[in-house]
């Protein structure tokens, strides 16, 4: 085969237009409409043809067009104005105000990042959330660098066969024509890092994406230095088999740490966005052992102090797990290098450390190698505590140290240009920079109802035009008939109540639920006076045939004559399709099986555009729902009979549509305005926009996790890691002596018949501490009402004080508890290890109940 010598060709821009290339290389343009406008003014048709990719646009537009623009004073004035804003944002942007956050530098690892459709290295909500996270860290000035993989093919492109069955294609990404930059050394050679596999080194080159002020580092193994197999590691997002997933996660975790070092980034807090990046903890331990002569446990203690783990998964089936034999294949060398046994290593990823049959879980590894953990909504935090409570044996689920930070969205990315301009006039541009400020959003009452409604109607009209254009192009591509092309121009009604449903087609999300009673939904769709229409979009995982079947069902429904113009499915869902839908629908539908929706950010994006949510009380909607911001399906029930659940909740869905949503939309005043609906839109802005945004979210992460993690890292690292050595030694001492610790006696003063509300009861306890001292152990009384099952109901926890030493390792403790309610009460005594250097009270996982 002949050799092809490759080289890159970059756009040749006239001097006056050279700032366009600087702008194109920073994703800041993607959430600033006047910057986007600069690109589509160059060549509107080409802009859409290249998938809204500014680098590709500048490389393909004719030189004559560029020469003409370089002499267009109006265009040059716009360019100058945008570049001034861009440089102000980069050089004089908002400063992060964090108490105690001096020197904070965060490394944020994720297997996918959804920044824009022109950089297709995301599949859905997890990646888009990660992309919005980076955008908001840029906005608020939080020092953070993202780390991920650069996929040659990204996630698949979707099309449907004549039967409605999903098909996948995997077109290659052209990195040189994407808004990314390859990192090269001073000699112009690509900077490569090595990832240690047990029998070889896998090499990766480094690419960088600037997301405003926040850098994103991406690793790519598709280089000549690797074998053909290793070049495939970064071929597809979520592609390949289980072993390929492990190799991708090794490159992300191990390689990500090496890439940060090669780029001169030295984070002191590491955030794992899902368990995919858990191997970074192992790499950090190995590096610290080599640098500071620590043993494995000491290095683990130090590194865990500044690791943060966010779980997005509400079911065990969604966790990446690997067989012990596969872990042996890839980690035997690591075990030897850090000096731990096979059993010790495998225990790091097992819920039951002694179960030799259990597979190795990356989520468990991430928990074991972190000190701070969170779910992504309040309900998901509770689900995660129940899901992982076995890792803290004998500790009540409510006290499992997994908290939550509810997800948000990047408002500037998702709010439509038309609505944003309206906000600029009535709320002031402050809504863009401080979306978390409630005072900003109270001003929505100043927006005239007619102006808000007309803005929303324009967005619905644009959505309908987009759907028709996509359908027409799809019919042409598939060789459609004249009748099909004519149908494309008649799809949907730009004035009808429009309901959107777009997300991953997993079975628990129940996309076809609204078709449970076909006669009833057909009657609603065919109502000529108060019509409704449905728009669906979304992909099923290529290996999820059940999810593909849901898509096929919807396609067969919409092909019925009664539905053919009123129900549509948009193929190849991506961020561009999402923007049109989320900005244009009236109602956003979400009907998962509670509690399987960890958060769900699409509903937040619809709400940010004035769309009203109709949803199961799951994920974020448990916090966002109010009667004046949308509608709920059910009241938060959970079912064991799934058939019954579908029947009950589909009926409720229809009832809410018929009795509440449709009347509210079509009840108009003499001026033709749906006043009740507009009032709900304004309440949605006021109550949801200041809460469910990523500016608030990243500030929560900084205050609740990043700054405390930095503080604890500093404690561990003091005096050449004396803090880590000391705490490791103390934990070993407590672990070795804990079998001696027990509660000997416990009693309280007074008669049970004489205790009155607000009386104080004295509790006296005798405990045996063995070789431990009172400084090592906290004695707690848990006091509260007793359930019929003899369990304490949300008990109050009171710490008892040592009153005297009794000899032979025995100590007396006492304290007072107050009875604040009448009824049957009780108390329990427990002992837990205590050390001021612990991250949280149950960090050791040890507990002794009386």
Report phi then psi at 136, rounded to 5. Answer: -75, -30
Which pLDDT score, from 0 to 100, does residue 784 have? 80
Which pLDDT score, from 0 to 100, does residue 96 have? 85
- The rounded distance, in Å, linking the Cα atoms of 740 and 449 is 71
Which pLDDT score, from 0 to 100, does residue 760 have? 76
Q: How many Cα neighbours within 13 Å face the side chain of 383?
A: 21
CA angle 268, 273, 279 (to 5 degrees): 70
H or E segment and range at residue 270 = strand 269-273
Report phi then psi at 209, rounded to 5. Answer: -120, 125
Contacts for 629 with CB less than 8 Å, ≥ 6 apart? 607, 612, 613, 680, 683, 684, 687, 688
- The rounded distance, in Å, linking the Cα atoms of 104 and 95 is 13
H or E segment and range at residue 344 = helix 342-347
Burial class (CB in 10 A: 0-12, 13-18, 19+), 582: buried
Pairing outcome for strands 567-570 and 587-590: unpaired
Which pLDDT score, from 0 to 100, does residue 316 have? 83
Q: What is the mean pLDDT of each successive set of 10 residues along the chain, which is 850 residues long?
A: 57 91 97 96 96 95 95 97 97 86 95 97 95 98 98 93 94 92 94 94 98 98 96 94 97 98 96 97 98 97 98 89 97 96 97 93 97 97 95 91 98 98 97 96 98 98 96 85 83 97 95 96 95 97 95 95 93 96 98 95 98 98 97 95 96 98 96 97 98 98 97 95 96 95 85 64 91 94 79 83 92 84 78 93 91
How many CB atoms within 10 Å of residue 551? 24
Q: Outline where 401-478 has alpha helix (H).
A: 411-414, 417-427, 430-433, 438-442, 449-477
Which pLDDT score, from 0 to 100, does residue 702 have? 97
- The rounded distance, in Å, linking the Cα atoms of 533 and 569 is 11
H or E segment and range at residue 66 = helix 63-69
Q: Outline where 369-435 has alpha helix (H).
A: 378-387, 411-414, 417-427, 430-433
- The rounded distance, in Å, linking the Cα atoms of 329 and 198 is 7
Query: SS in 3 state form for 296-314?
Result: HHHHHHHHHCCEEEECCCC
Give yes or no for a contact between 149 and 216, defined as CB atoms under 8 angstroms apart.
no
Contacts for 248 with CB less than 8 Å, ≥ 6 apart? 111, 149, 233, 234, 240, 276
Helix (H, G, I), strand (E, B) or coil at 107: strand
- The rounded distance, in Å, linking the Cα atoms of 79 and 18 is 10
pTM: 0.95
Distances (CA, A) of 546 to 509, 510, 539, 647, 806: 12, 11, 12, 20, 66
Query: SS in 3 state form for 748-759?
Result: ECCCCCCCCCCC
Give yes or no for a contact between 240 and 166, defined as CB atoms under 8 angstroms apart.
no
- The rounded distance, in Å, linking the Cα atoms of 60 and 55 is 9
Strands (E) located in 652-740:
none
Give me 622's structure tokens. Answer: 């448990």
Which pLDDT score, from 0 to 100, does residue 4 have? 60
Give yes or no for a contact between 10 and 59, defined as CB atoms under 8 angstroms apart.
yes
Pairing outcome for strands 200-211 and 269-273: unpaired
Report phi then psi at 198, rounded to 5. Answer: -60, -30
């Amino acid at each position: 085969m002949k050799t092809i010598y490759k080289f890159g060709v970059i756009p040749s821009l006239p001097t006056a237009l050279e700032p366009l290339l600087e702008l194109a290389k920073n994703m800041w343009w993607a959430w600033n409409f006047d910057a986007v406008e600069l690109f589509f003014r160059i060549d509107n048709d080409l802009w859409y043809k290249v998938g809204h990719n500014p680098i590709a646009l500048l490389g393909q537009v004719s030189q004559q067009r560029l020469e003409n623009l370089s002499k267009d004073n109006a265009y040059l004035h716009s360019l100058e104005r945008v570049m001034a804003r861009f440089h102000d944002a980069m050089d004089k942007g908002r400063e992060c105000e964090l108490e105690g956050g001096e020197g904070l530098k965060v490394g944020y690892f994720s297997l996918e990042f959804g920044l824009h459709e022109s950089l297709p290295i995301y599949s859905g909500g997890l990646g888009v959330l990660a992309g919005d996270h980076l955008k908001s860290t840029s906005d608020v000035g939080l020092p953070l660098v993202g780390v991920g993989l650069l996929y040659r093919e990204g996630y698949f492109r979707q099309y449907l066969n004549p039967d409605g069955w999903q098909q996948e294609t995997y077109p290659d990404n052209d990195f040189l024509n994407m808004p990314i930059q390859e990192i090269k050394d001073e000699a112009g050679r690509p900077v490569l890092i090595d990832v240690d596999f047990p029998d070889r080194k896998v090499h990766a080159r480094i690419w960088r994406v600037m997301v405003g002020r926040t850098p994103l580092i991406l690793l790519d193994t598709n280089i000549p230095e690797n074998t053909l197999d290793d070049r495939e590691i970064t071929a597809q997002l979520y592609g390949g088999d289980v072993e390929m997933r492990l190799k991708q996660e090794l490159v992300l975790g191990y390689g990500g740490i090496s890439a940060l070092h090669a780029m001169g980034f030295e984070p002191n807090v590491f955030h794992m966005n899902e368990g995919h990046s858990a191997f970074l903890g192992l790499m950090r331990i190995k590096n610290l052992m080599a640098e500071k002569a620590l043993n494995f446990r000491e290095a683990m203690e130090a590194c865990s102090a500044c690791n943060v783990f966010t779980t997005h998964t509400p079911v065990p089936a969604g966790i990446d797990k690997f067989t012990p034999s596969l872990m042996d294949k890839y980690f035997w060398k690591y075990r030897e290098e850090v000096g731990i046994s096979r059993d010790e290593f495998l225990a790091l990823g097992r819920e039951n450390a002694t179960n030799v049959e259990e597979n190795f879980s990356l989520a468990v590894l991430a928990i074991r190698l972190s000190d701070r953990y969170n779910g992504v909504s309040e309900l998901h935090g509770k689900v995660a505590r129940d899901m992982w409570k076995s890792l803290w044996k004998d500790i009540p689920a409510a006290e499992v140290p997994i908290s939550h930070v509810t997800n948000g969205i990047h408002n500037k990315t998702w709010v439509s240009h038309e609505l944003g301009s309206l906000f600029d006039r009535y709320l002031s541009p402050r809504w863009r920079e401080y979306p978390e400020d409630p005072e900003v959003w109270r001003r929505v009452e100043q927006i005239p109802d007619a102006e808000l409604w007309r803005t929303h109607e324009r967005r619905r009209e644009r959505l309908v035009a987009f759907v028709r254009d996509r359908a027409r192009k799809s019919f042409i591509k598939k060789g459609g008939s004249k009748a099909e092309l004519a149908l494309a121009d008649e799809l949907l009604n730009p004035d009808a109540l429009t309901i959107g449903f777009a997300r991953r087609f997993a079975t628990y999300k129940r996309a076809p639920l609204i078709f449970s009673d076909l006669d009833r939904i057909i009657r609603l769709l065919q109502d000529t006076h108060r019509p409704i229409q449905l728009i669906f979009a979304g992909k099923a995982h290529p290996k999820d045939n059940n999810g593909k079947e849901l898509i096929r069902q919807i396609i067969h429904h919409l092909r019925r004559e009664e539905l053919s113009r009123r129900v549509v499915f948009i193929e190849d869902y991506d961020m561009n399709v999402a923007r049109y839908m989320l900005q244009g629908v009236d109602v956003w539908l979400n009907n998962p099986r509670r509690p399987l929706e960890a958060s769900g950010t699409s509903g937040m994006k619809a709400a940010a555009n004035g769309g009203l949510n109709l949803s199961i009380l799951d994920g974020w909607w448990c916090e966002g729902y109010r009667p004046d911001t949308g509608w709920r399906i059910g009241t938060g029930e959970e079912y064991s009979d799934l058939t019954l659940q579908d029947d009950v909740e589909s009926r409720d869905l229809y009832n809410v549509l018929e009795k509440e949503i449709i009347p509210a939309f079509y009840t108009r005043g003499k001026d033709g305005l749906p006043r009740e609906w507009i009032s709900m839109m304004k309440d949605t802005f006021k109550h949801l926009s200041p809460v469910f945004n990523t500016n608030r979210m990243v500030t929560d992460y900084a205050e609740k996790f990043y700054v405390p993690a930095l503080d604890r890292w500093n404690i561990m690292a003091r005096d050449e890691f004396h803090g880590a050595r000391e705490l490791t030694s103390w934990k070993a001492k407590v672990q070795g002596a804990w079998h001696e610790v027990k509660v000997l006696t416990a009693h309280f003063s007074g008669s049970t018949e004489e205790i009155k509300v607000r009386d104080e009861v004295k509790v006296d306890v005798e405990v045996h501490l063995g070789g431990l001292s009172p400084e090592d152990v906290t004695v707690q009384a848990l006091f509260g009402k007793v359930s019929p099952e003899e369990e304490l109901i949300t008990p109050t926890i009171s710490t008892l004080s040592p009153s005297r030493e009794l000899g032979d390792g025995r100590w007396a403790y006492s304290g007072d508890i107050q009875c604040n309610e009448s009824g049957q009460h009780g108390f329990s005594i427990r002992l837990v290890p205590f050390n001021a250097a612990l991250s949280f009270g149950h960090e050791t996982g040890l507990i002794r109940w009386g």
